[in-house]
Amino acid sequence: MDDGQWSSKHVTNYLKANRAFLEHHVLEHVDAATLERWYMRRVWREKAIKPSTIDNPTEEMLCKKISMSKWKFCRHTDKRQMLETLMNSLATQPQPGRILWELACCVASSVGADGFILHLAHPQTGVFRVFRSCDIETDIDNGIFDPKIYPDISASYDDDRDAACSSANFYAVSNKERHNVASYVAKHRHTITVRDIRRPDSRFEDGSICLQDGGVHILGAPVVQNDGTLTGVIELYRRPVDNNKSSRGPFQQDDEEVVSSFLVWGGIALHYADMYHALANQRNLHQFLLTVVKSIFQDMVSMDAVIAKVMTFAQKLVDADRASLFLVDHKSNELYARIFDMGDGVGDGQTPAAAKEIRFPLGTGIAGQVAVTGKVLNIPDAYLDSRFNRAVDQQTGYHTTSILCMPIFIQGQVIGVMQMVNKHHGTFTAEDEESFELFAVYCGLALHHTKLYDRIRVSEQKYRVTLEVLSYHNCCTESEFNAVQQLNNSTLEAAGQSDNRYVQQNVASNTIGLDQFWFSAFSINDMEKVHNAVYMFVDLFGLGQFEQDSLIRFMLTVRKNYRRVPYHNWTHGFAVANSMYVILKRAPNTFQPLEAVALFVSALCHDLDHRGKNNKFMLDTASPLAAIYTTSTMEHHHFNQTVIILQQEGHNILGKLKSDEFKEVLRNIKHCILATDLALFFPNRAKLAQIVEEDQFTWDNKDHRLLVQAIAMTGSDLCASSKPWDVQSETVKVIFEEFYEQGDEEKKAGRVPIPMMDRTQLHLQPDSQVGFISGICIPCYSLLYRLIPETKPLLDGCQSNMERWKQLAKDNEFVDSDHAHGAGKPRVDGATEIKDSKHLHSLTRAVSLPIRSYSDLDSQQ
């Protein structure tokens, strides 16, 4: 066969059969550049990334200054320099964004591009961030690759901070409205060249961002890692040939091959960058764990401080917008948190301002579910999860998207739940879960040790309070004990002549009206109050299970433990006990015997060691008591003082009771004393009123009886509002004097007291009494009367006093109206201006009626 008759098929078959000839011919007649170009084409074909044929690849480049083959295969020194620059960048600035920027600079320089656009894809959301290059034409023309200081885009790849770049825009690859070169390359993931982007093309209806910089010849290349993850898109561009700034034409196939070779190096660099980031995250995590360990032994300030540190770091660890940490209360089966929803603003790990403690049952919501199951919950869309409580978002205006909830274990038991909300970029990943889970182990240790420290700190505060109490109070003396004994003996001797019952119970009282609701504690002195307190106790419960000497010592020491303050003193304690005594005496079978004992003791001791200041004042002044008892501060202290007195030698009036009876009485005493906190009165009353309204109340139900006991304690505590007017007005005088003393202290501390505690607002007393009686006292006595009809005199007296306070308030309004109309207006008859506390006291006595008993009141009505 002649040579001219050989077809390409014959040549191909011959070369296949004579591979030695083919190898010899190639080595002898084909240069290295061509061999490498053939090899690159084979590699790309195997990867199924086919070069685009948008433009004719065989068309000669117009006015091309240098041969790309010469650049790529002959200028090895310059090529090596660029690769060394890329590797140096990896060593000094290994952030993926920075690596891609350096890679784009190298590629642009190697193919003689006038500039480039770098599109960085976020690894989770797929959202691109766009960066423009500086003009690198000068470097290319001079044949030098000397990278300038380009924008630091590393932060933009990993965080949401703004980079100092010439332009930044966002768009999503999945957005169907986008039809530009970059989105096409990202979608199809292969390199394309566009001869002239100004020509219409259905694939690129939106053209290219490069047009904004004058680029018309485009080469777009995807940056894909080994695992198939799209990292970004590089758009290289050249300006038109007739532009004075450039004389290069469209990109050719050689350019594509150059870009492909650099992207191989770029993939390796990104792989090592990812490894660096993983190591950096581990290093940061280990550094934090070391910080946590140091905090346990060096910076143990409080549980709140450690929780704040833990939440701050956890927030940064998983890039969350909000963080919450809930602790488990195994006694009440609840989750609670004092620091909740920590967001921006507490980034230094310091304890934020104290917040109101929140509690909710285990199993409630996402955090409650994690506490029960002990399993991690990673929720990409909270609104699609039925366990999510949308009410919080509706109240706060915050929109919750993703949630990562992790249990915290110690010794195999869930002690808390950490909840991260709204990852800044995308949703929480498996990597976040792994890091968070490792952190949670050390977090549990930190919380456990801090809780132990908190217990020590609370014990120290209790010790300080005890020292304070002991420095002020002491037990009764023998002389005081003998004085009460002598008073009792003389009273008993006189009473025994007319009533043998007093001789049998070994105690007597000659105090008139002691068993009446109208009785005034102001009518007897302090020692007589002690004697009558012993009498009332024995009259109710006898001496079968109680010792009289212990009763006397107990009453005397209780008297000493009431401080000398205007209102919350021994007189008030005795008055409340007397009111409870009358209730128990008139309705003897209402409560069980041990409940009745607890009620009387609670009434007598309910304000022990009261400082004349309310709970809010204790919190505002950072009192040691407030550090021990965060709720019902003074009421807890009153109960604690009661227990301390009972523990004194010779004072345990409950010593003859059985162990279980003793514990039951103490529980009831605590319940009753805490019930005198008016903050608890409202929910107690609402609950009991609902039970009564629904006709569900029964005295056989222990919980129902506890509610009645709470209301009875409040009614006895407020008994002054039901006393005859002269007693009521005298009591209000000392109450407000105590209020004013607290107001004076607040003024000294630079705070503004509420009007009721400001002695310059004296004219508000009648109005405040009307509001107090109508809003608290009458509702209390009305409910108590429905359950214990014998308490009706309390309701009647309270209503009568309210009418008198209304009259005073009305007269005071006339005075205010007179002032408002000017000095020349006539004064309304009966209207009197209140000038000071003495004047007000005289007015209250002036409007009082000569009432001594409720029988007198009934007769006048």
Cβ neighbours, 10 Å, residue 359? 11
CA distance 637 to 629: 8
3-state secondary structure of 369: helix
- Phi and psi dihedrals of 699, rounded to 5? -70, -15
5 known member of a binding site: no
833-841 — which CB contacts under 8 Å span 24+ positions? 834/762, 834/763, 834/765, 835/762, 836/762, 837/733, 837/736, 837/737, 837/759, 837/762, 840/733, 840/762, 840/765, 841/729, 841/730, 841/733
Task: List C-alpha distances in Å: 574 to 453, 558, 744.
Answer: 41, 10, 28
- What is the amino acid identity at position 16? K
Rg (CA), the chain: 44
570 known member of a binding site: yes
CA distance 175 to 196: 24
3-state secondary structure of 322: strand
Nearest residue to 89 (alpha-carbon basis) of 141, 136, 140, 153: 153
- Distance from CA of residue 553 to its chain's centroid? 48
637 known member of a binding site: no
277 known member of a binding site: no
Task: List C-alpha distances in Å: 760 to 168, 243, 757, 769, 832.
Answer: 63, 86, 9, 17, 17
569 known member of a binding site: yes
| Given 122, 568, 637, 638, the catalytic residue | 568
3-state secondary structure of 748: helix
Nearest residue to 85 (alpha-carbon basis) of 71, 98, 75, 70: 98
- Tokens 């084979």 belong to 42
55 known member of a binding site: no
Looking at the DSSP bridge assignments, the partners of residue 230 are: 224
Task: List C-alpha distances in Å: 580 to 204, 575, 585, 710, 713.
Answer: 90, 9, 8, 12, 8
CA distance 360 to 203: 56
CA distance 341 to 308: 11
Q: Angle at CA 222, nearest 5°, toward 216 and 226? A: 165
Cβ neighbours, 10 Å, residue 276? 16
Note if 568 is an active site residue.
Answer: yes
Cβ-based burial of 560 (10 A; exposed 0-12, middle 13-18, buried ≥19)? middle
CA distance 642 to 670: 9
Tokens (6 digits) for 212: 């904004």
- What is the amino acid identity at position 581? Y
Tokens (6 digits) for 759: 């002695």
- Phi and psi dihedrals of 365, rounded to 5? 70, -175
- Residue ranges of the binding site: 568-572, 606-607, 717, 769
Q: Which residues are annotated as a binding site for AMP?
A: 568-572, 607, 717, 769
* Binding-site annotation: residue ranges for Zn(2+): 572, 606-607, 717
Q: Which positions are annotated as active-site residues?
A: 568
